[in-house]
Amino acid sequence: MKVAGLGFRQDVTLASLREALLVAGGPEGLAALATVSDKADAEALKLLARECGLPIKAVPADVLASVDTATQSKFVAEKFGTGSVAEAAALAVAGPRARLIMTRVVSQDRSATAAIAEGDGA
């Protein structure tokens, strides 16, 4: 099971989310999009999920905080307790033995990040 994790600013656009996902590897073969729970209902994310035909999996912030990530953002670490929302969300949803197959990439406007993990599901 492949999962794309997405992290983003409140004012993110569909174009920025789409760009980050495409740079990470695109939607082909994905089972879901994942992000932190308090952002799971963001309009741009819902539009991307609909466009890709994928469900959105919401991950509680406390679960993200327990996931070690390959990359580290000081801002994200202070706010969420993990180095990357995108990486942590992808790993959490992909399952306990998941591994990153694409570390966090950032959209050109720096408002969206994406990472892809592969595992056997949660």
Q: Which of 114, 122, 105, 110 lies closest to 33 in space, CA to CA?
A: 114
pLDDT in tens, 57-77: 999 999 999 998 988 888 887
pLDDT of the residue at 68: 87
pLDDT of the residue at 28: 95
Dihedral over alpha carbons 41, 9, 35, 73 (to 10 degrees):
-160
Least confident of 44-53, 62-71, 96-105: 62-71
Owning domain of residue 93 = 2-118
pLDDT of the residue at 79: 84
Which sign does the torsion angle of CA 88, 84, 40, 66 carry? positive
pLDDT in tens, 4-38: 999 999 999 999 999 999 999 999 999 999 999 99
Classified as helix, coil or strand, 96 is coil
Number of domains in the chain: 1
CATH code: domain of residue 102? 3.30.420.180
